[in-house]
Amino acid sequence: MRVHGIYRLGGLLGPFLLGCGGRSLEPVMPTGSTPGGAVEAESWVRASQPKENRLYRFKWQFIDSKGAAGGRGSGRVGVPDSLRFDVQGSLGVGRAAAFIVGDTAIWAEPEEDVAKLVPSYPLLWAMLGVPRLPSRGATLRRFQDERVEAWQFANGVDTIEYVRTNAPTPRLIADVRQGMKRIGRVETVLNPDGSLVSSRLTVPAAPARLDITFTLNSVAKAFAPETWVRPQP
């Protein structure tokens, strides 16, 4: 599992307040899990992945010990695993963008301003309701009952855990740990049809919190080639 570094988001996302994640987070994986199979894990993940290109628009607020800031943003998902992620502060000030394929950033512009928002790309995907496939050779565990289905993907001491609830208002929870350190946790709320309502990322070590409220979920036509091109500074 690759966990990417946190870039400093300069003036765009500097300040934040803290009623956010200073407390410890409870474990995600329910007790009673059993070894899981790769075929079943892949089937579960692919059932949550978009089948068509998607366009999302959202409002965001980021909070840490220094204060709070917010603005608007968008996510453009090109199947199977391309993501253009854009944010801007109030009044359009402080724009930043990134192009991600799978769990790897192809570019981030400006690099020093992109990703204090999210300390790992699996967490970013989870904010869009999308779990990532386990890496080759990962140790898999599974839990399922009438209320939830949960998976743990472990590479040595690094783990990603996903829980999807079957309540009338479904939720996807993702928890990323590197060794004994929790990198972050996402809880994404969905409508019964699978469209996105809201998402919260908690980073306990900072501590910090990112809240997203989705204002648009739509199927998109093929994106223009320049969508994936690094913008000029």
In this structure, what token pair is assigned to residue 72? 């608007």
β-bridge pairing 148-155 and 139-144: antiparallel
Beta-bridge mates of residue 83:
77, 100
CATH superfamily of 35-217: Lipoprotein localisation LolA/LolB/LppX (2.50.20.10)
Q: Percentage of the chain surpassing pLDDT 70?
A: 85
Q: What is the DSSP letter of 39?
A: H
Cα four-point dihedral sign 52, 61, 88, 185: negative
Beta strands in 18-147 (DSSP E): 34-35, 54-64, 67-78, 82-89, 96-101, 104-109, 139-144
Q: What is the DSSP letter of 110?
A: S
Domain map (residue ranges) of the chain: 35-217
pLDDT at position 3 is 34
* Prediction pTM value: 0.86
142 close to 34: Cβ distance less than 8 angstroms:
yes
Q: Please count the other Cβ atoms lying within 10 Å of the Cβ belonging to residue 45.
A: 17
Contacts of 120 (CB under 8 A, 6+ apart): 3, 4, 103, 176, 183, 184
Q: What is the pLDDT of residues 59-104, one digit of tens each?
A: 999 898 888 889 999 999 999 999 999 999 887 677 888 999 999 9
